[in-house]
Amino acid sequence: MKVLMQSRLDAFSKRGGDTIQMEKPIPFLEKMGVEMTISNNMNADISKYDLVHLVGITRVHETYSQTQHAVRYGKPVVLTPMYNCKEHYELYIKYSSDSIISKLYRICPSFDLYQKIRTMKYCLSNRDYQNALKQIIIGYKNQQEYVLKNTTMLIPNSLMELNAIKKELNCTGKSNMIIHSGVEIEKEVLKVSPSLFFDKYEIKDFVFVMGRVEPLKNQIKLMEAMDSVDIPIIFSGALTKDHPNYRNRFLELVKSRKNFHYLGFIDRKILYSAIKNARVIAVPSWFEIVGLTALEGGLMGTNVVVTERGFGRPYFLNDVWYCNPSNTISIKKSILDAYYSSKDKNIFRKRILENYTWEKSSTALYNSYIMALEIHNNHSLISKEIN
């Protein structure tokens, strides 16, 4: 089986959770005999592939063009939606993002118009005039609906995500399968020594906040919440280029407090070693589809604080502390409760190992490919018989 995987054009220059969702299953799928190719070329020759696996429907203008291309070639489409709930997205736009578009949205709240302007800004900066024009003419939601109607197999990360898509867009793919995200459980990862991080930075028992430094990840709100608390707070992740005011404010706050530390982007081994030195992993984002860093923290026996918004609850259940990302009191209470808690961590760790590994999710992904091919072939056969 030959599969072409496609996502947003900057999936590897501006890495995110969707990038990891693309990369991690590949070694497992290749062991099962799948030939995987990643290409974000909108006009890639897909005639030699059996199916196309697309990732992402929130920034839909690229996925729309990729879907059109797959339809022209008569290829079945498997879609990992990475969908952001409209309600939570709007709260983020109104109360956190400092972009000019967000300020306009507060005056004229039209979600479709907001997304069109956002797409234009992105496309024009990348000289992608064709996709910008398409969304202006067709509409943001209409493009999402087109992608879903032409999806053979929709594979959301949770039932919560699937239900949000059904509720907000009133359509899904021809068939659906829940495929959970995973974490790395390779021996090399699990055996990383805590001393690798401690010998370099000489800090332990800290609150660890991972992820790109940007308004969505909400680091500044956490800093405000923990301003009067004498606990080490460590941040890691690349600085945003799209939100200079946020970036500058974040760096000012880091310099203003001795217990705030920013490490920049660090490699995976140091990252896992840092998690093993942390007492709390905090994910105070305005929303998260899952929150892979929180799962990684749970795997390594660290207490976890996650945002109450998004689709993480089916993964975390009652094994973590939830915070309201817009409320500093809620963030502070959740972090302090987690920091001083002696809750048994083995239950959460065991559940992660049983349910949320890349090997398990890759096996489910392989099965979704098989099902998508069967659905597509049966549909093609019925169409021929009718004609």
User: pLDDT tens for residues 38-47?
Assistant: 988 778 889 9
Residue owning tokens 């002696």: 342
pLDDT per position as a tens digit, 304-328: 999 999 999 999 999 999 999 999 9
What is the tens place of the pLDDT at every residue in 105-148? 777 778 888 888 878 877 777 777 787 888 888 888 999 999 99
Q: What is the pLDDT of residues 216-268, one digit of tens each?
A: 999 999 999 999 899 999 999 999 888 888 999 999 999 999 999 999 999 88
User: Three-state SS for 68?
Assistant: helix
Q: What mean pLDDT do residues 363-377 have?
A: 95
How many CA within 13 A on the CB side of residue 303? 19
Domain 2-87+131-182+357-386 has CATH 3.30.465.10: no
Q: What gap in Å lies between CA 127 and CA 57, rounded to an integer? A: 21
Encoding tokens for residue 123? 């496309």
Return d(Cα 161, Cα 100) in angstroms, integer: 29
Quote the pLDDT of residue 127.
Answer: 76
Say how far apart CA 308 and CA 311 lie, in whole Å.
9
pLDDT of residue 387: 46
SS3 of residue 60 by DSSP: helix
Nearest by Cα to 293 from 202, 209, 185: 209
Residues of the chain with CATH 3.40.50.2000: 2-87+131-182+357-386, 188-355
Which helix (DSSP H) or strand (DSSP E) does residue 176 occupy? strand 175-176
Classify residue 53 as left (phi > 0), alpha (psi -120 to 50) or beta. beta
Task: Give the burial string for 11-45 (b: 16+ CB within 10 Å, else e).
Answer: beeeebbbbbbbbbbbebbeeeebebebeeeeebe
Chain mean position to CA 110 = 24
Cα 124 to Cα 248: distance, rounded to the nearest angstrom: 25
Q: Is pTM, for the whole model, over 0.85?
A: yes
Place of tokens 């919560």: 160
- Asked whether the beta carbons of 171 and 254 are under 8 A apart, the reply is no
Decide if 101 contacts 77 (C-beta within 8 A): no
**Residue 91: CB partners within 8 Å, gap ≥ 6?**
286, 309, 326
CATH architecture of 188-355: 3-Layer(aba) Sandwich (3.40)
- What local confidence, expressed as pLDDT, does residue 380 receive? 58
Instruction: Choose among 281, 291, 62: nearest CA to 161.
Output: 291
Secondary structure class of 38 (helix, strand, coil): strand
